[in-house]
A and B are shown apart, each in its own frame.
Chain A
Amino acid sequence: MAVANTIPAERVAQNKRSGSLITLDDLKVEYLSPRGPVRAVDGVTFDINPGEVVGLAGESGSGKSTIAMAILRILQPPAVITGGQVLFGGRDILAMSDSELEDFRWREVSMVFQSAMNALNPVMTIGDQIVDAIRAHSRTSKSDARQRAADLLDVVGIEKARIDSYPHELSGGMRQRAVIAIALTLNPPLMIMDEPTTALDVVVQKEIMYQISELKEKLGFSILFITHDLSLLVEISDRIAIMYAGQIVEMAPARELFEHPLHPYTQGLMQSFPSLTGDKKRLTGIPGSPPDLISPPSGCRFHPRCPKRFEMCDKVVPKLAEVSPGHLVACHLYPEVRAESQNHGD
């Protein structure tokens, strides 16, 4: 396949040396508003290893897209990054100049967002859009770029003959494939996918998920996969982080998280999805709704909705702590978390 194995070996080696491809360290993002700052991302730390799929789940408004946009440095005012670092291959993305960013985006990290229609230019054929993306970043002749565009369409499962189609001539699933083709243009080692299948029907979603997973196997890129659909995430992710109100409340290998959720919020989410199999048991969901991020609840942000809260929950902020190998949780029910949180005070 034309696009395979073209990620510079030395870069992969470099990433492997530092252990992870990208590391978010205590990232904080606020949106300024007349009522005060919205603390949309409040101290988020995690990393993604080369070739790994990390899933980010959480309800709408929990800060998932803000994290994606912070990594790509495409946040617009009133958003402000107020703290933390995002390290990529040893460099802090948050400290990059505009010209460094130009080079960084698409080459190192590319993105696939929920609305393929917004990502595509309605008055250009998909072939021309891919050709443009190729030629914007490398010195390639028009005919070579077009050949490569056709190859890319083939890679994502669009017939080469559709190269001169306009976005509106394609179905929703085809458009999302075209967006994935554009994201693949420069073979970046990391792809951020923010709800890439949310607007699609379940049968088409399955096709796209299968395609993504195949491409990942073939090309070896890492994915930060964002969705509110936990079942989807369990299928595709190696590790999953659960966000609540701007913070990660639990992170674990996918299967471990699915089988042994530790945080009461994660447990509540598991109680929110009717299943196609097994006993028809009554589900409870989670009472209440997510908090206002301008004045989030004190202590643990989930405490007002938590069925297991006790006296320290509204006083002490729980810190994310490892309670079993690779399984991190931020909940005072666990002694490791209590020890960690009280040491640091708050």
Chain B
Amino acid sequence: MAIEQVTRNGAVDPSGYGGQPVIDVRNLTKHFPVGGFVSKQVVHALEDVSFSMPRGEVVALVGESGSGKSTTARLLARLIPPTSGEIVYEGKDILKSEPRHASLDYRSDVQMVFQDPFGSLNPVHPVRYHLERPLKIHKKTRGRGQTRDRIHELLDIVGLTPPAEVAAKYPYQLSGGQRQRVAFARALAVEPRVMLADEPVSMLDVSIRIGILNLIERLKEDHGISFLYITHDIASARYIADQTNVMYAGRMVEGAESTELIDEPAHPYTKLLLSAVPNPHAGLRTEEAPSRGEIPSLIDPPPGCPFEPRCPYAMDVCKQEMPGISSLNRRHWVRCHLYPAGEAAAGMSGKLTNVSVQVNVRN
């Protein structure tokens, strides 16, 4: 993707973000209180996360389990309230006091697709019912004929044909991939602008996954829908996402245009993640032992960078404070003390091992 973005109406956008982002997440934080009356503890599920969803693009959130991906999606879908932070949709902070109808608009404009295609459909109803409901609730169609036509159209869009036949089927008669397509059709029924897809393919068979990823790509291209694509499979993020953001222990540590993130990762954790992806070209045996270590507890975490205990480059400052954002270029940023803060880091992407960085490295 070219750095200079051409927006849908043809204007060149100097920000590199396709004009005003459809959603802008600012300093989003979610704490879950846990434990009983006596031992009150707090799970820092999400801590100070900021990112943008450029209009008409796919943004991937990548990270290991427990890193805060689903919490981010649930906050964006307004299934749970944040502890602090802002979610700016079309220029308006949706969390601030707002007229009721604006809130309703947001809830229909932003739709979620979940991981489990088995749990998300009611087994006693045919496919038709699952699509009829959102059409009725959101008053998208009038009369039986129009509703039927729209249902068939939706099934056709998600590749379930012949639509009339599929509409009459019950969930148990569908494969996992087909059920997930129904879930997409259901979300599409309300004509959303944004779809939040939380690990939509991880429970599907490998041969079927690509079909769903290609569907996301098509919905983006043909329907202009902006996607948040959540995955633990960074290769699939490279495949469909324009931008990829990496999460670790409730923090967002790096973001870049997807191919750049993979070719020139800046954060030591991103590098670790990439090195762990099975690579049939290289093989296991020739390599040195992989790094050991675990994701830290999110219960009342110490200050500082959560990756510090595992980081081969850790310095004293890493224990004390979480680094701020360093901008490597317009779409590539990292939160790591190896990089100078702010714009001073420009041009340093992919240079983690160069001299300017090595001076700081603890051996």
Point out residues on A near B: beta carbons under 8 Å: 59-60, 157, 171, 173, 201-203, 205-207, 209-210, 213, 217, 228-232, 234-236, 258, 268-269, 271-277, 280, 282-287, 289-290
In the bound complex, do residue A235 and residue B284 qualify as a contact, i.e. CB atoms below 8 Å apart? yes
Contact of B277 among A157, A202, A258, A283 (CB under 8 A): A202
Contact of A203 among B210, B236, B290 (CB under 8 A): B290
- Residues on B with C-beta less than 8 A from A277 are 281
- Residues on B with C-beta less than 8 A from A217 are 285
In the bound complex, do residue A202 and residue B284 qualify as a contact, i.e. CB atoms below 8 Å apart? no
Residue of B nearest to A206 (CB): B276
Contact with A along B225-264 (1 / 0, CB 8 A): 0000000111110110000000000000000000100100
In the bound complex, do residue B290 and residue A235 qualify as a contact, i.e. CB atoms below 8 Å apart? no
A277–B214 alpha-carbon span in the complex (Å)? 19
Residue of B nearest to A235 (CB): B284
Is B272 an interface residue when CB atoms closer than 8 A count as contact? yes
- Residues on A with C-beta less than 8 A from B275 are 206
A289-B175 contact, Cβ under 8 Å, with A202-B64, A206-B275: yes
- Residues on A with C-beta less than 8 A from B236 are 274
A284-B232 contact, Cβ under 8 Å, with A235-B280, A276-B238, A289-B175: no
Pairs of residues from A and B, 5 with the lowest C-beta to C-beta distance, nearest first: A285-B210, A274-B239, A234-B280, A206-B276, A286-B207
Chain B proximity of A151: nearest CB distance (Å): 19
Chain B proximity of A82: nearest CB distance (Å): 26
Is B278 an interface residue when CB atoms closer than 8 A count as contact? yes
Chain B proximity of A42: nearest CB distance (Å): 19
Is B294 an interface residue when CB atoms closer than 8 A count as contact? yes
Residue of A nearest to B206 (CB): A272
A228–B285 alpha-carbon span in the complex (Å)? 21
- Residues on A with C-beta less than 8 A from B282 are 235
A272-B290 contact, Cβ under 8 Å, with A203-B272, A235-B283: no
In the bound complex, do residue B276 and residue A59 qualify as a contact, i.e. CB atoms below 8 Å apart? no
Given A203-B64, A209-B284, 19 extra CB contacts under 8 A: A59-B207, A157-B292, A201-B65, A202-B278, A203-B290, A206-B276, A210-B284, A213-B285, A229-B206, A232-B278, A235-B279, A235-B284, A274-B210, A274-B233, A274-B235, A276-B234, A280-B238, A282-B214, A287-B211
In the bound complex, do residue B276 and residue A271 qualify as a contact, i.e. CB atoms below 8 Å apart? no
Residue of A nearest to B240 (CB): A274
In the bound complex, do residue B279 and residue A202 qualify as a contact, i.e. CB atoms below 8 Å apart? no
Q: For the complex, would chain A's binding face be called helix, strand, loop or mixed by DSSP majority?
A: loop
Contact of B206 among A59, A206, A275, A280 (CB under 8 A): A59
Chain A proximity of B244: nearest CB distance (Å): 12
In the bound complex, do residue A272 and residue B210 qualify as a contact, i.e. CB atoms below 8 Å apart? yes
A207-B290 contact, Cβ under 8 Å, with A201-B64, A268-B207, A289-B175: yes
Chain B proximity of A220: nearest CB distance (Å): 15
Is B273 an interface residue when CB atoms closer than 8 A count as contact? yes
In the bound complex, do residue A273 and residue B294 qualify as a contact, i.e. CB atoms below 8 Å apart? no
A213–B287 alpha-carbon span in the complex (Å)? 11
A213–B177 alpha-carbon span in the complex (Å)? 34
- Residues on B with C-beta less than 8 A from A201 are 64-65, 232
- Residues on A with C-beta less than 8 A from B205 are 59-60, 228, 289-290
A59–B177 alpha-carbon span in the complex (Å)? 13
- Residues on B with C-beta less than 8 A from A271 are 210
- Residues on A with C-beta less than 8 A from B208 are 285-286, 289
Contact of B262 among A228, A276, A283 (CB under 8 A): A276
- Residues on A with C-beta less than 8 A from B262 are 276
Point out residues on B near A: beta carbons under 8 Å: 64-65, 175-178, 205-211, 213-214, 232-236, 238-239, 259, 262, 272-285, 287, 289-292, 294
A234–B278 alpha-carbon span in the complex (Å)? 9
In the bound complex, do residue A272 and residue B292 qualify as a contact, i.e. CB atoms below 8 Å apart? no
A269-B284 contact, Cβ under 8 Å, with A201-B65, A202-B277: no
A235-B210 contact, Cβ under 8 Å, with A201-B64, A207-B292: no
In the bound complex, do residue A173 and residue B239 qualify as a contact, i.e. CB atoms below 8 Å apart? no
Chain B proximity of A114: nearest CB distance (Å): 14
In the bound complex, do residue B207 and residue A231 qualify as a contact, i.e. CB atoms below 8 Å apart? no
- Residues on B with C-beta less than 8 A from A230 are 206, 280
A235–B283 alpha-carbon span in the complex (Å)? 4
Chain B proximity of A302: nearest CB distance (Å): 11
Contact of B278 among A231, A268, A274 (CB under 8 A): A231
Chain B proximity of A9: nearest CB distance (Å): 26
A235–B280 alpha-carbon span in the complex (Å)? 5
Interchain residue pairs with CB less than 8 A apart (6): A201-B232, A203-B64, A235-B282, A235-B283, A258-B280, A271-B210
A41–B5 alpha-carbon span in the complex (Å)? 54
A213-B284 contact, Cβ under 8 Å, with A206-B290, A280-B238: yes
A285–B235 alpha-carbon span in the complex (Å)? 15
Contact of B209 among A203, A231, A285, A287 (CB under 8 A): A285
Residue of B nearest to A157 (CB): B292
In the bound complex, do residue A272 and residue B279 qualify as a contact, i.e. CB atoms below 8 Å apart? no
Chain A proximity of B51: nearest CB distance (Å): 22
In the bound complex, do residue B64 and residue A231 qualify as a contact, i.e. CB atoms below 8 Å apart? no
Chain B proximity of A111: nearest CB distance (Å): 21
Contact of A229 among B175, B178, B239, B278 (CB under 8 A): B278
- Residues on A with C-beta less than 8 A from B207 are 59, 268-269, 272, 285-286
Residue of B nearest to A217 (CB): B285
A276-B292 contact, Cβ under 8 Å, with A202-B64, A235-B284: no
In the bound complex, do residue A273 and residue B235 qualify as a contact, i.e. CB atoms below 8 Å apart? yes
In the bound complex, do residue B284 and residue A231 qualify as a contact, i.e. CB atoms below 8 Å apart? no
- Residues on B with C-beta less than 8 A from A258 are 280
A274–B244 alpha-carbon span in the complex (Å)? 15
In the bound complex, do residue B210 and residue A275 qualify as a contact, i.e. CB atoms below 8 Å apart? no
A202–B274 alpha-carbon span in the complex (Å)? 9
